[in-house]
Amino acid sequence: MGKVLIIGAGGVGAVVVHKCAQVPEVFSEIMLASRTLSKCEKLKKEVKEIEKVDIQISQVDADNVPELVALIRKFKPNLVLNVALPYQDLHIMDACLETGVNYMDTANYEPIDVAKFEYSWQWAYQDRFRKKGIMAVLGCGFDPGVTNVFSAYAQKHLFDTIKYIDILDCNAGSHGKAFATNFNPEINIREITQVVRHWENGKWIETPPIIEPKSVHFTFDYPIAGPKESYMLYHEEMESLVKNIKGLKRIRFWMTFGESYLNHLRVLQDVGMTRIDEVDYNGCKVVPIKFLKALLPDPTSLAKGYTGKTVIGNIMTGSKDGKEKTVYIYNVCDHAECYREIRAQGISYTTGVPAMIGAMMMMTGVWKGTGVFNIEQLDPDKFMEKLNKHGLPWKVVDHKPLPDKI
């Protein structure tokens, strides 16, 4: 049906290219591009071996807009799917504007010199994308992504008004490493060491980062995974959901962390290894967190031997036909099954599969428009159907509301 250009050959990029190759009736031509050509060559070989599909590959610097423009004009894709680093979002959006090609990503922009992520920079592209007659879809992973679609589905089908949303992300898996992150270490550590925010009664409320003694956390009994300590964390989908879910009074985000992981992170923070500014070492400029990234396991290397499940979903309370109700929509994903299918671990899989499905929605015209969109603004029904078909089945169950104060 059309051509997709996938930029980024890390763990999520690997899942995206495999899953696109499984749907040749939609993705008739696939190009994978990365700064590191050897990663593309490895994935090209894997996709040929597992999916029996040939893909094209190219080297590109996603920070270099002219290089991106030249590649887009050469390949002529219908869609650019950005699974590179969040620092590069705006460069890739600029290239799409210049070439008139639709855009999608899985994580919002973050400036490289400030550990802060928000949608304002990308929302500022609204008028330019609209005038160009092209579409940008932001945050189409799992969280953000599927959690936004769960909210939109609930708003459309299950509630008249949603008052409270709690997004709960549990990784109950084990990779056997003393300390490792499940996606890019630099991005991951910047995200979880920030001051926590949640939305309540029309304003953002700040609480301490997860590694501090006064962080907010509680024990939640996850389906299949069981009781896990869950920490309040700021996450980007909350920023768009407060704009697009009618009547919302509170939204919180929770993620599980083991005490060993937190202890490692506290030590790294205390000794300065999570710093994002340059330090002088023997006359060389070094960014500590980038050096730490080089020392930690590559997230793609965790896949083989990874066991256990991820459980991610939304608990939502609101009213329907005058009666209050609470539902829990969630997915359970198995690390080992992901590896057996496409040699991936579950965190990459749960992000990459929704990115492919979102690309499918755009390529087939289910999602269409001009301007910049978060995916809860788009119809959720076909997306929800495809989750069941392509490896991330979901359940809806009645649930009790989570406490107001934890």
Question: For 184-203, what is each residue's pLDDT tens digit?
Answer: 778 788 888 889 999 999 99
198 with 335, same domain: the answer is: yes
- Taking the CA of residue 116 as centre, how many other CA atoms within 13 Å lie in the half-sphere pointing to its CB? 6
Residue type, 399: H
**Would strands 79-82 and 2-7 be described as parallel, antiparallel, or unpaired?**
parallel
CA geometry: angle at 353 spanning 362 and 372, to 5°?
Answer: 35
**Of the ranges 5-14, 57-66, 75-84, 184-193, which one carries the lowest mean pLDDT score?**
184-193
Q: What is the pLDDT of residues 84-143, one digit of tens each?
A: 999 999 999 999 999 999 999 999 998 877 767 789 999 999 999 999 999 999 999 999
Confidence of residue 281 (pLDDT cuts 50, 70, 90): confident
Fill in the DSSP letter of residue 139. -
Classify residue 153: in a domain, yes or no.
yes
Is residue 241 predicted with pLDDT exceeding 90?
yes
107 with 254, same domain: the answer is: no
pTM: 0.94
Q: Which residue in 160, 141, 167 sits closest to 330, CA to CA?
A: 167
60 with 187, same domain: the answer is: no
d(CA 99, CA 94): 9
**Would strands 27-34 and 56-59 be described as parallel, antiparallel, or unpaired?**
parallel
What's the pLDDT at 312?
A: 98
Is residue 179 predicted with pLDDT exceeding 90?
no
Who wins on pLDDT, 166 or 304?
Answer: 166
For residues 252-279, one letter each, b for 16 or more C-beta atoms within 10 angstroms of the residue's C-beta and e for the rest, the string is bbbbbbeeebbeebeebbeeeebbbeee
> Mean of the per-residue pLDDT values for the chain?
95
- Region 392-403: what's the mean pLDDT? 97
What's the pLDDT at 374?
A: 98
Angle between helices 185-192 and 288-295 (to 10 degrees): 120
Who wins on pLDDT, 309 or 301?
Answer: 309
Classify residue 284: in a domain, yes or no.
yes
Who wins on pLDDT, 297 or 349?
Answer: 349
What's the pLDDT at 302?
A: 84
d(CA 204, CA 238): 10
| Tokens encoding 229 | 């300590």
**Would strands 79-82 and 102-105 be described as parallel, antiparallel, or unpaired?**
parallel
Confidence of residue 387 (pLDDT cuts 50, 70, 90): very high
Q: Give the residue from 88, 109, 138 where a domain finishes.
A: 138
Is residue 375 predicted with pLDDT exceeding 90?
yes
CB proximity list for 347: less than 8 A, separation 6 or greater = 11, 171, 182, 183, 299, 310
185 with 96, same domain: the answer is: no
What's the pLDDT at 367?
A: 98
What's the pLDDT at 113?
A: 74
What's the pLDDT at 270?
A: 85
d(CA 70, CA 23): 27
197 with 282, same domain: the answer is: yes
Would you report the helix, strand and coil content of the chain in percent, each value rounded to 5?
Answer: 35, 30, 35
Residue ranges of alpha helices (H) inside 102-246 are 120-123, 126-132, 146-153, 185-192, 237-244
151 with 118, same domain: the answer is: no
Classify residue 386: in a domain, yes or no.
no
Fill in the DSSP letter of residue 189. H
Q: Percent of the chain scored above 90 by pLDDT?
A: 79
The total domain count for the chain is: 2
Hey, which residues does 250 pair with through a beta bridge?
164, 200
152 with 134, same domain: the answer is: no
Who wins on pLDDT, 302 or 156?
Answer: 156
Q: Give the residue from 112, 138, 164 where a domain finishes.
A: 138
Q: CATH number, domain at 248?
A: 3.30.360.10
70 with 171, same domain: the answer is: no
Kindly tell me the burial class for residue 107, based on how many C-beta atoms sit within 10 Å of its own C-beta (0-12, 13-18, 19 or more): buried
Domain coverage including residue 126: 2-138
Q: CATH number, domain at 56?
A: 3.40.50.720
DSSP string, 39-62: HHHHHHHHHHHHT----EEEE--T
240 with 320, same domain: the answer is: yes
Classify residue 258: in a domain, yes or no.
yes
Fill in the DSSP letter of residue 141. B
297 with 152, same domain: the answer is: yes
What's the pLDDT at 222?
A: 98
Say how far residue 169 (Cα) sits from the centre of its chain: 12
192 with 304, same domain: the answer is: yes
CA geometry: angle at 327 spanning 323 and 329, to 5°?
Answer: 155
Confidence of residue 329 (pLDDT cuts 50, 70, 90): very high
Q: Percent of the chain scored above 70 by pLDDT?
A: 100
For residues 52-83, one letter each, b for 16 or more C-beta atoms within 10 angstroms of the residue's C-beta and e for the rest, the string is ebebebbebebbebebbbebbeebebbbbbbb
Classify residue 47: in a domain, yes or no.
yes
Q: Give the residue from 99, 118, 138 where a domain finishes.
A: 138
121 with 155, same domain: the answer is: no
| Tokens encoding 126 | 């609204």
Is residue 216 predicted with pLDDT exceeding 80?
yes
Confidence of residue 330 (pLDDT cuts 50, 70, 90): very high
Classify residue 208: in a domain, yes or no.
yes
Classify residue 375: in a domain, yes or no.
no
With tokens 């980007």, the residue in question is: 236
What's the pLDDT at 361?
A: 98
What's the pLDDT at 295?
A: 87
Classify residue 69: in a domain, yes or no.
yes
d(CA 222, CA 159): 23
Peptide bond into 111 cis (omega under 30): no
Is 118:239 a contact under the CB 8 Å cutoff?
Answer: yes
d(CA 33, CA 63): 13
Q: Which residue in 150, 246, 243 sits closest to 204, CA to CA?
A: 243
